[in-house]
Amino acid sequence: MRPLLVLVFLIFGQLAFAQTKADEATAQQLFRNGEYDKSLIIYQKLYKGKNGEAYFEPYFNNLLKLKRYDEAEKIIGKNYKNKPDYALALAELFLEQGNKEKANKAFDAVLASLPADEFAISGIANSFYAREDYEYAIKTLLAGRKVLKDDRAFSYELINLYRFTRQKDALVNELLAVLSEQPAFLANAKNNLARTFDSAQDYDSLKSLLLKKIQKEPDNTAFINLLAWNYTQQKQYDLALLQLIALDRRTNDNGANIYNFANTLIDEQAYPAALKALEYLLGKATNSPYYIAAKVASLKLKNQQVLAGKFNNTDLQQLAKDYQDLLNTYGENNQTAFAIKALAHLQAFYLKQPQQAIQLLERAIKITNINASINAQLKLDLANLYVTENQPWEAALLYGQVEKAFPDHPIGQDAKFKNARLSFFSGDFNWAKAQLDVLKASTSQLIANDALDLSLLIQDELAVDSNGHALKIYARAMLLNQKKAQEKALQTLDTLLTSYPQSTLFDDVLMLKADIFVENKNLLQAKQSLESIISRYHESIWADDALFKLAVLEEDELKDLASAKKHYQQLIDDFPGSLFLAEARKRFRNLRGDAL
């Protein structure tokens, strides 16, 4: 009989529990729906039932919604004297009644009687946070420190609150205090500062505090690291590098921090400082972990500056020697293919040594066990040189090999495009157009766009000149430009303009001229050519290209930010399907200040 009774009690208990949960869910839904009279009936029942304390807060909030203040005060009773939750509720009641002074006194009373219990103090602070009273949440945690006699208690909670309320000075002081004891918190400290700081004054204030900290705690490398980060945020890269070098020497580091910083500088286009960082690493022993990586990065960076026109002939000769030294040391292989490509490019187009470049690439494509994709890139480079050296059959053969090896890959489609362009150079316009029309469906948007542009150029011009006389002159100018014979290219384009005034190629001529002018740093002439396309040939296939190139020229080179912003906006408005739309929007928003 007794087991049966136990079973009956268990069943009834479970049924009662299920009913309570169902009532709770119903009350919550009614409260969310604004049906406070109905939800109050259920909450009142739950509060008077078993475990009623658990329903004090929703019952109390329901009474406040109905402005039944007397009942709310009654359920608080005298509990506020020894129960923080009830004391907070009393203060909330005072606020609802518009008595802020009494509410603050009640809040202060809670802080004055905090228990020496870290968990309980956190709970009270969270109650203030839930009420969006961040000031008292902070006061609670600070008071809790005194009660617990622990100046570092609640550091993480305070950091979050200071950041959320943008109390910058308090945030910085808290972060520095944590770093004094926990240097490993450095990454979190940087993240919090980056999310909070928004002016140069913020970083200047941090710098002053960090310099004092470093004097006081010279062995704490976190402060030196943070100072370097602070300089970096202000784009004072040389000062940041000095700090990191000092840190590297002090800790006998393997150079990882300097190498990572060099890559950051390259991303920021701070090339002089990046080279200094890499040269520091190259000054270490040749067997140091980052020596080879620094050597490679240094060569790539110097090569990048060559392409930007920032090196003189002596620098070019030295860079070529550095590449050759690397190849002499490590050989011509899969790992040094990047150096082969770069050296060949220097020799062919800057040092006027095309035959040496061809010989280097001819050896490179025969390297055994070389990655197929790298081999294809080397073949394309060699084929391009064959074109400039008037060896079209050899070029066509290599283009065909790459296209066959990578039929559905961007590398193969690039080879097919260049083969079609080679036919264009030779005057076989119908064959070139047939190949270009196939490429208009390329998976590479850039190749598809280039193929479409050249196909339309051929189509439009042959419609008015079926013999393609003007087109042949334009093709010759394009080839001269590829050969870097740009003065001759410009002269050829001028000949076209004067000899064939009825040609449809005037916008194409202006675009090619603009590209040549930009490459040779004749920026004002480039600007004039681009503006002519925009004003005279707004329906041209080059119109959106011209707008984008003009805006970039004005932003990056001419520093005419107002005009750049205007032209980005014009591109966005007039050409919503442009290939340049995403980048134009990004640059426009940056100029407008959205990124700040």
**Amino acid identity, position 112:** A
Regarding predicted confidence, which is higher, 18 or 32? 32
Q: Would you place residue 418 in the very low, low, confident or very high pLDDT band (cuts 50, 70, 90)? A: very high
Task: Tell whether the model's pLDDT for residue 323 goes beyond 70.
Answer: yes
Q: What is the length of the chain? A: 596
How far, in Å, CA of 534 to CA of 538, rounded?
Answer: 5
Helix axes 155-164, 134-148, angle to 10 degrees: 160
CA distance 245 to 261: 11
Which pLDDT value is given to residue 9? Answer: 43
Which has the closest alpha carbon to 182: 174, 194, 191, 192? 174
Q: What is the pLDDT of residue 82?
A: 57
Retrieve residue 311's tokens.
């090196």
Report whether pLDDT(81) > 70. no
Indicate the SS3 state at residue 91.
helix
Whether the pLDDT of residue 271 is over 80: the answer is yes
Q: Which residues fall within 8 angstroms of residue 58, CB to CB, at 6 or more apart? A: 27, 28, 31, 43
Confidence of residue 413 (pLDDT cuts 50, 70, 90): very high
- Please report, for residues 290, 301, 552, the alpha-carbon distance to residue 265 in angstroms, rounded to integers and kept in the order given: 16, 11, 22
Over residues 117-122, mean pLDDT: 88
Q: Indicate if the pLDDT at residue 196 is higher than 70.
A: yes
DSSP symbol at 287:
T
pLDDT of 370 above 80: yes
Residue 183 has pLDDT above 80, yes or no: yes
Report how far residue 540's alpha carbon sits from residue 558's, in angstroms, rounded to the nearest whole number: 25
Predicted pLDDT of residue 8:
40
Residue 87 has pLDDT above 80, yes or no: no
**Residue 284 pLDDT > 80, yes or no?**
yes
16, pLDDT greater than 70:
no
CA pair distance 518, 101, nearest whole angstrom: 70
Given a cut of 70, whether residue 120 has pLDDT beyond it is yes
Using H for helix, E for strand and C for coil, what is the string for 245-274?
HHHHHHHCCCCHHHHHHHHHHHHCCCHHHH
Looking at residues 33-47, what average pLDDT do you find? 79
**Which tops the pLDDT comparison, 59 or 464?**
464
pLDDT tens track for 539-590: 899 999 999 999 999 999 999 999 999 999 999 999 998 989 999 999 999 8
Q: What pLDDT, in 10s, does the model give residues 425-447?
A: 999 999 999 999 999 877 678 88
The answer for residues whose C-beta is within 8 angstroms of residue 155's C-beta and 6 or more apart is 174, 177, 178
CB atoms within 10 A of CB 536: 11
Task: Judge whether residue 209 has pLDDT over 70.
Answer: yes
Kindly indicate the confidence band of residue 18, based on its pLDDT and cuts at 50, 70 and 90: low
Please provide the average confidence, as pLDDT, over all residues in the chain. Answer: 87
Could you give all domains of the chain from N- to C-terminal order, each with its CATH number?
376-504 (1.25.40)
pLDDT band at 78; cut points 50, 70, 90: low
**94-101 contacts, C-beta under 8 A, 24 or more apart:** 96/64, 96/67, 96/69, 97/69
CA 426 to chain centroid, in Å, comes to: 43
Mean pLDDT calculated for residue range 13-38: 71
Predicted local confidence at residue 77, as pLDDT = 62
- Please determine, for residue 7, whether its predicted confidence score (pLDDT) is greater than 50: no
pLDDT digits (tens, 9 = 90+) for 337-350: 999 999 999 999 88
CA–CA dist 39, 25 (Å, integer): 10
Mean pLDDT of the region 377-394: 96
Q: In this predicted structure, what is the pLDDT of residue 287?
A: 78
Pick the more confident residue, 517 or 302: 517
**Mean pLDDT lowest among 25-29, 231-235, 474-478:** 25-29
Q: What per-residue confidence (pLDDT) applies to 251?
A: 82
Are the C-beta atoms of residues 247 and 228 closer than 8 Å to each other?
yes
Angle at alpha carbon of residue 479, lines to 478 and 481, rounded to 5°: 65
pLDDT at residue 336 is higher than 70: yes
| Res. 397 pLDDT band, cuts 50 70 90 | very high
